[in-house]
Every structure is written in structure tokens, then in C-alpha cells.
Chain A
């Protein structure tokens, strides 16, 4: 397992500083945090945002057993044995979560799903899954975040609220940086927000366009038409989008006049009416704009390593999420093999939930079914999901107690620099131990 040694300075009082540690709280994956650590406690997280500070400074190691079987403390060995039994006895096991685990652990999880002919799915299926499907339809014109910092002169946020979800997005990547071709930073950029409500992010925008809820698809197609010079009926546009055509025309003109335009989009686009059709429209608009100038787009991914999960599942199976191995090889069908659907249709008969909390955020039918089947849960904290698990492992927190690799929302892989050890095993260790037992039970020699 990749494990990058931390750059550390330590003094006699046991105070140490980890330089350029990586924050995994959101998809920004800021890797410039200096952590001051004393007595297994982080006392300072330099450069971290409000969310990152909360992540690091409030971190404590849960004083609970590393393993619980049916809610009772048990040895790790007993937990591994029971977990392997549950997974190998099942006819339709599902492995889910993964977006808050390092790639090294994700890889083991996909192996387990392969050995047990199970389904493997990630939290992508409930956030940017529609973006992944749209991508399969039209492709994507995109770039790394440093390109935005160095070149982006028109920055559009669509259905995204980075001020609250990705607090350093503006300062590190999208609005404030003085880039190679934008020596004056913010002054050289125009920022446009398109949303159904005035979020905290709207304050950062030069132009705010409040659209009618559930009409993103119409709004994006309006822009596609205007960019291509198609004449539209102003009244129809106003009725469809809640915005005057002149506003859209102005935006279309700015898009074409930009040197390097960027559209960031969030779940306000992907999880509203239209879902993947909305994202398809946005990706197609981006592609259209490249006939006039350079234009890119990018989903604002949420979880720290959800992008890594997409990558790992893709390179091992060929598909990004919602992958079923029941026939002994990978098949992909969102809606059929995605976890919330599999559970709410009462199909799975066992599960392994890795760093996710479906008992807190899935639909009632899905939760009811999950509660009725034996499942394994891995989490650093106690959650509704760990409470109802047949086997619950308390794991070390990635990026704070364990190393590994995470992928930033722009697919850039970044190493983790752990601050201090945890008495709990890492999810990589737990999954590896389960995998070796699964292989033993099934006679797998690979």
C-alpha cells in the first residue's frame, strides 16, 4: 500500500507539525494544510477552511471497540471471520460507499465484490451519478483546477454553492488566484452564478441569475440555441426559465467572448428534474462553445475521495459505479445495480457499507430492507448504519490516522500525510483481512 512519509518537525515537548497535509473533507482536497499535533490531538490546522478546521480540530479517536458483532464487543479476528461468512453465504451481496476511503482500500473492496459475485457501488450513484451517465452520452471538455486558476476568465457556477460546500474553491482555484494569464486575479475574472436561490455563494458573483426551479434543462438549451444563433421566442424563454431572454443573451455573449470559460456544476443541477439530461445539456453546451473559444466544465464533487472511487471502480471493472458481478463478470446499469434501488426493491441479502451512512440518508424502504439483512459496516464514528450492523468495525480516519491516495475532483491523485496513529485498524487493513478470508472460503488463488 502506498504510504507517503509525512514531512514532520517535532520538538522536545512532543509537539509536532505535519507540513502540506491533505484535507479529505470535500472534493477540493486541499493539500497545503500544516497540522500541529500534540498528544494525539490536532491543535492547529493552518490554511484549512471552516469545514477543514472542524474536520481536523474536532477529530478524536472514538473510545469504542474496534469491532462489534451484533452490537457486542468482539475481537477483530472474530469480526473478520463473521464478515467473510456473511459475504460468502449471500446470494446477492452488495458493497457500497467507498468515497471516504483511500484508493488502496477501494481496490480491496472491488476485489471482494469480484470474488463474491457481488455488486459494487459508490456514493456517486446518489450524487454525481447522473453526471457520469451524461458523460457517457456526450463526453466532457474539462481541465485540471490549476488551468482554471491560470486561465479561467469567465467562471460560472450552476446549481452549486461552493461558499458553503467547498469553502476554498474560490481562493485556491476558481476566483481569487493570480494566474499565469490573469495577473490581477479576481479583477481579471467575471463570475456568474445560476441558481434557484440566492445562496451564500451568490455574494461572490458579478452576475446572479435566479432561474425558476426545475427548469435547468430548458435554461441550458436556451443557451445552446442562443450560442448557435437560433432565434427564440422571448415570451417562451421567460415562461420556460423564469428569466428574460436578454439575460440569457448577455450570458451567451459573455461565454463566446471569454478567453477561457469554466462552468462548475453541483447537485443543484444533477439531482433536480432532468438529472442526467441536465448535465448532458451542460456538457453539450460546453462542447458547442469550443467552436468559438476555449470552454470547459467540471462537476464540483463532494466527498474527499469520491473521484478516486470512480477511477478505481472504472479501471478494475470498466464502469464507474453500479457494477454487478452476479454472472462472474462486470455489468453496469444505473437504476438496476445502484444501491438505493437494490435495497428498496429488497434484492440484496447481505451488504458491506464502507464509510457511508445509508441508514441515515437512504429512503425508508431501502433502510427497512437494510435493517432486515446481515451487513458489515466500516466507519470511524458511530452512525445509524454502524448501530444496526451485524459486524461493525471502528476504523482509523483516513488522512488523519492513515495514509493512502485520494483523487481531487479534477482526477488529480494526491497522497495523504497522516498526523498520528489510531488504535483502530485502517479500512484497508480490515478489508484486506476480510478479503483473505473470503478467498480462503472460496478457494481463490489469485
Chain B
């Protein structure tokens, strides 16, 4: 043991909620990039001691829903030179590449900024399978963090066809095959069925989860229920990640409620739920209101459901989504430039610049609704911090959100600057709850790691990846969280006081479920009939994964 190369973080106040540690002063030992038990031999000395006395120690942050790599993210970078020219830039140094920011940072900038914020793992939320190779190539240029992506499936023709033909085993095998072929992490449903309708006719979409999708004769509900069931049977670590139908529409809360019901008790994650919690009708701003109370009631009583928020922050950003009809809708609202791209057999995409204004009733309500979600879900293990970066705002806003949650006076001060009707249309003014540091540690790392089924992330128990963030306590929690004292990734110090010390490349997390390979010939037959590339050239092989880890099923 004496030859072992230990690092010790000594004397810090540790928040490790997954292991029931809530602000306890204790040492953390690291060996070979992982958290280790303290050596039993008291004479063993660490090669490096990091004195964290007076500092707060947490696992590295885990962002379970952001848009950081792949075809649409890159289109958004290309499309928005105007916000980069005046925006922050990252200078090239002896240890780092240069980069640009704006609402959609370049790849290196993305990695450095996440690390600088104390986040060490992030998942891109929507990659079309045909663009999987692209996402992996960008990941190799996104340093400092571990990463993975969700694979768009909710409008996949094979998925809909299997459901139409009532072939659940075929569907299950297809999901397994597709995850392996793309080296993806989880199935993602985006406006299930609705994007296919958008691809087939002007202004097309579905308006509810029981509307029939033309040509395939299936409903969004059937897609949600079918994929959820199949993914749970595949024992995936994160079975299904759902962007509901009717995003952003007044009155959409009923669709969201029905979507949660259609999980039929299986594990399922509803993402950026803030955008799906609206009352009112007919696109009428005067009736727009918050429906978090009844939806949170459902979440509170149904442990199979987890959510992330998709918090909106005031300011300019870029909307990017696999929800093609939503992109069209937003482009009409804002009237600016609009990108839309349909991917054969698989999905769609919409991108447009947007701005959230605190004086707009709708925008201010969106902001308030996001905060209501954090404050109305009782179990912090089932609500996760997200801005749906960059859709609601940048991931760089997380420290500000933490302050909103830990400081009700600050929250109310900002509420007072918003459109006055927000106080009547939401319950935010009446919510006194303030998060504790332990609860913040849950919604930013321990919770998402557990929801994603990542055994080595989000905690500081022996065997976990030694991804650790050390903060300097401050009464202003925004200040505390925006500039960690130290960030440690795989046991190495990568950031000190927001300066990058070592730009490790990180690894890609993906799944490799067992599926019935007998189904492959029928997938191939379908594929060769309709795709514009060859079957053989579709799967992403391991050579595209710079460093990787297969996350086991449950």
C-alpha cells in the first residue's frame, strides 16, 4: 500500500447526499482517478494533500439535459456570428485552445466553461442517429467533461411501424440495436409523432397525445407507452427521456399530465417540464397561467416519474430543438432567422434566436413556473436543475438559479421587477421554501446521476469517479457557485479558481444493451429501402470514441 499514489482532500465540509453525508467535516481519499477508502495503515501518507479546511466539498456537477454537440448545435454556432462578435471570447493559452461564447459556445469553450463551473459530466439531449458520428467527433473536441447523448426515437419510422404492426418485441430489439449503433446513452422522445406530421405537410403537428399520426396510424400515446415499456424491459440505466407534445402552448399541462399517465407506472423522465406546465387556451396571452400545482401533485405521488426543469432566464439566447414544428412556431413569434432541417426516417430540427423579457407576461411566467417546479416537488431526488441549455438560458446561469432557490428575498426582489400579473397567475410569491446546500447537491449532481443510472457519478463513496468540486462558502450563493476554488476530474486538478490547469479530454458514456439480434435482418431490409446511406456505413464504431465507458444496465 505504501507505494500507492494517494491524493487526499482534507478537512473540507463534505456534502455527499447519495451516501447520507450532509455537511460533515471529513477527508476524501483518491487513488487511480477514483474515490478510495482511507488507507487502513495510518502511516500511509498521500502524495498530494489538498487542504479544504473551511471549504465545501461536493461531487462534480452532472448536467442531464443540455445541447452541446452534434448537427443542430453546430448549425446554431454557424448561424449566430452576431452574438459572438461582442460576446466573451476565450483566449488561447499554453494549456487551452481558444474559443467563442455567445449562447452556443464552441466545443473547447463548452468543456472549459462546464469545468470552470464545477460540472464534470454533461449529456446532450437530442442527437438524430444519422448525426451520431458527428456528435462523437465534437465530443472528442469537448475537453474536461465526461459526456454522452440521447438518441432521437419518437418520430423514427421503424418505431412507429413496429407499433402500428403491434410488434413490441421488434420495437424493443430496434431500440437496443439503435443505441448500440449510435453509441448513445438513452432513448429520447421529442414531440412524439408530431415531428413526422410536420415533415409531411404545411404547419403539421399533433395537438394532443391521442391524435393519430397520418400514414403510420399510431398516436403519440402509443409511442410513449410502447417505447417506455420496451426501454424498461431492456433494463437501460435511463430508460426514456421525454420532451412532451405541445411544448410552449397555452393549455399544454393536460398533455403533460396525460404523458406522465401514459408511462403506466414505468420509469420515465419528463424533461424541461417548465415549458409544458401552462394553463390557458387558444394562444391567448390573457389566459396564460401556471399549472405547476396540479402537475407537481402528480409527480409527488408517482415515484416512477422524474423531471428536470428547463429554467428560463431573462435575456437573449438561441432556441434549438428536435421539435421541428416548435421551431417553426417560434420563428413566427420572433420573426428572425430560422433554421429547420428534417432528417430522413428519424426526426426534425428547428433553430431560431429568441429573447426572454421580464416585462413580458408570458416570459415572466415561464421564469416563475420554472422556480415553482423546484419549490413544489417535495423529493429533491426527482427534480433536476436544467436550463435546457441554451433554450431557457445558458448553463452558466446555474449559480444564479441556486441563489433563487436558497434565497427567497432575492427571488422576490426579482419577481418584483417582472410583469405584475405573474403574482396572480403563479404561486411563486407564496412559496417560502429555501433549498439547503444538501438539497442543491442533490438537484445538481447526486439526483441526476441516480436518475441516469450512473453508478460512478454524483457521489463520493469508494469506487466513484474522483470528480470533485470544492467551493468557497459565501452568503451570496451565486458568488459561491460561479467560481469553484478547485475542480478535480478523475483525480486530477483541472481548474483552480476558474483557470484551467489541465484540460483532460474526458470520456464518452454509452450503453450496450442486449437485444434480439434476430430482428436485424428486418431492420436492414427497411433501412436499405429508404435510407440514403448504406447499412454498413451507418453504425458508429468504437474508433470514434476517444475514451469511453459502457454504463451497465440495471
Show the binding face of A for B, using Cβ within 8 Å. Answer: 1-5, 7, 19-20, 22, 31-32, 103, 107, 111, 114-115, 117, 132, 135-147, 149-151, 172-173, 179-181, 259, 287, 290-294, 296, 310-311, 314-320, 325, 327-332, 405, 407-408, 411-415, 442-446
- Check if B77 sits within 8 Å of A414, measured CB to CB: no
| Interface residue? B1 (CB, 8 A) | no
The 24 sampled A-B contact pairs (Cβ below 8 Å) are A1-B543, A20-B536, A32-B534, A139-B331, A139-B352, A141-B340, A143-B341, A143-B344, A144-B341, A146-B531, A146-B533, A147-B344, A181-B200, A296-B342, A315-B69, A316-B99, A317-B100, A318-B81, A319-B100, A329-B92, A330-B89, A331-B85, A407-B134, A411-B341
Which residues of B (304-346) have their CB < 8 Å from a CB of A? 328, 331, 336-345
Known contacts A320-B78, A412-B533, A147 near B84 by CB under 8 Å: no
Known contacts A114-B92, A144-B343, A139 near B202 by CB under 8 Å: no
Bound: A123/B165 CA distance, A: 49
Known contacts A287-B338, A314-B78, A413-B137, A446 near B94 by CB under 8 Å: yes
- Check if A446 sits within 8 Å of B81, measured CB to CB: no
The dominant DSSP class at the B interface is mixed
- Check if B134 sits within 8 Å of A311, measured CB to CB: yes
> In the complex, which of the residues B202, B331, B338 has the most CB atoms of chain A within 10 Å of its own CB atom?
B202
- Check if A139 sits within 8 Å of B338, measured CB to CB: yes
- Check if A319 sits within 8 Å of B534, measured CB to CB: no
The dominant DSSP class at the A interface is mixed
- Check if A147 sits within 8 Å of B199, measured CB to CB: yes
- Check if A291 sits within 8 Å of B337, measured CB to CB: no
Bound: A52/B345 CA distance, A: 28
Known contacts A19-B536, A318-B106, A294 near B202 by CB under 8 Å: yes
Contact of B79 among A139, A287, A317 (CB under 8 A): A139
Report A426 CB to chain B, min CB distance, Å: 15
- Check if B95 sits within 8 Å of A445, measured CB to CB: yes
Report B451 CB to chain A, min CB distance, Å: 28
Contact of B102 among A4, A136, A143, A318 (CB under 8 A): A318
- Check if A329 sits within 8 Å of B536, measured CB to CB: no
Known contacts A315-B138, A329-B91, A141 near B339 by CB under 8 Å: yes
- Check if A150 sits within 8 Å of B137, measured CB to CB: no
- Check if B537 sits within 8 Å of A415, measured CB to CB: yes
| Interface residue? B532 (CB, 8 A) | yes
Query: Closest residue to B104 on the A side, CB-wise?
Result: A318
Given contacts A136-B82, A149-B532, A411-B131, list 13 more A-B pairs with CB under 8 A.
A20-B537, A135-B78, A146-B532, A294-B201, A296-B342, A311-B74, A314-B106, A316-B107, A318-B84, A319-B77, A328-B92, A329-B90, A415-B537
Bound: A207/B105 CA distance, A: 45
Known contacts A310-B78, A318-B102, A329-B100, A31 near B534 by CB under 8 Å: yes
Report A292 CB to chain B, min CB distance, Å: 6
Which residues on the B side are within 8 Å of A149 (C-beta)? 344, 530, 532
| Interface residue? B108 (CB, 8 A) | yes
Report A327 CB to chain B, min CB distance, Å: 8
Bound: A142/B343 CA distance, A: 9
| Interface residue? B96 (CB, 8 A) | yes
- Check if B98 sits within 8 Å of A328, measured CB to CB: yes
- Check if A151 sits within 8 Å of B92, measured CB to CB: no
Contact of A405 among B74, B102, B133, B536 (CB under 8 A): B133
Which residues on the A side are within 8 Å of B544 (C-beta)? 2
Contact of B351 among A7, A132, A139 (CB under 8 A): A139
Known contacts A141-B340, A314-B77, A316-B106, A330 near B537 by CB under 8 Å: no
Bound: A442/B94 CA distance, A: 8
Which residues on the B side are within 8 Å of A287 (C-beta)? 338
- Check if A290 sits within 8 Å of B537, measured CB to CB: no
Contact of A147 among B80, B343, B541 (CB under 8 A): B343
Bound: A294/B105 CA distance, A: 31
Query: Closest residue to A115 on the B side, CB-wise?
Result: B92
| Interface residue? B130 (CB, 8 A) | yes
- Check if B534 sits within 8 Å of A412, measured CB to CB: no
Which residues on the A side are within 8 Å of B543 (C-beta)? 1-4
Known contacts A136-B81, A329-B99, A446-B503, A103 near B339 by CB under 8 Å: no
Bound: A422/B326 CA distance, A: 50
- Check if B202 sits within 8 Å of A290, measured CB to CB: yes
Known contacts A7-B536, A150-B344, A411-B134, A328 near B91 by CB under 8 Å: yes
Which residues on the B side are within 8 Å of A291 (C-beta)? 202
Query: Closest residue to B536 on the A side, CB-wise?
Result: A20
| Interface residue? B355 (CB, 8 A) | no
Bound: A279/B536 CA distance, A: 35
| Interface residue? B141 (CB, 8 A) | yes
Which residues on the B side are within 8 Å of A117 (C-beta)? 92
| Interface residue? B380 (CB, 8 A) | no
Which residues on the B side are within 8 Å of A328 (C-beta)? 91-92, 98
> In the complex, which of the residues A7, A114, A139, A181 has the most CB atoms of chain B within 10 Å of its own CB atom?
A139
Give me the 6 closest cross-chain CB pairs, A-B, nearest first: A146-B344, A318-B100, A146-B532, A139-B337, A329-B89, A143-B342
Which residues on the A side are within 8 Å of B89 (C-beta)? 329-330
Which residues on the A side are within 8 Å of B239 (C-beta)? none
Report B307 CB to chain A, min CB distance, Å: 30
| Interface residue? B71 (CB, 8 A) | yes
Bound: A407/B73 CA distance, A: 16
- Check if B92 sits within 8 Å of A325, measured CB to CB: yes
- Check if B530 sits within 8 Å of A293, measured CB to CB: no
Report B297 CB to chain A, min CB distance, Å: 40
| Interface residue? B97 (CB, 8 A) | yes
- Check if A137 sits within 8 Å of B337, measured CB to CB: yes
Contact with A along B193-207 (1 / 0, CB 8 A): 000000111101000
Query: Closest residue to A414 on the B side, CB-wise?
Result: B537
Contact of B84 among A259, A293, A319 (CB under 8 A): A319
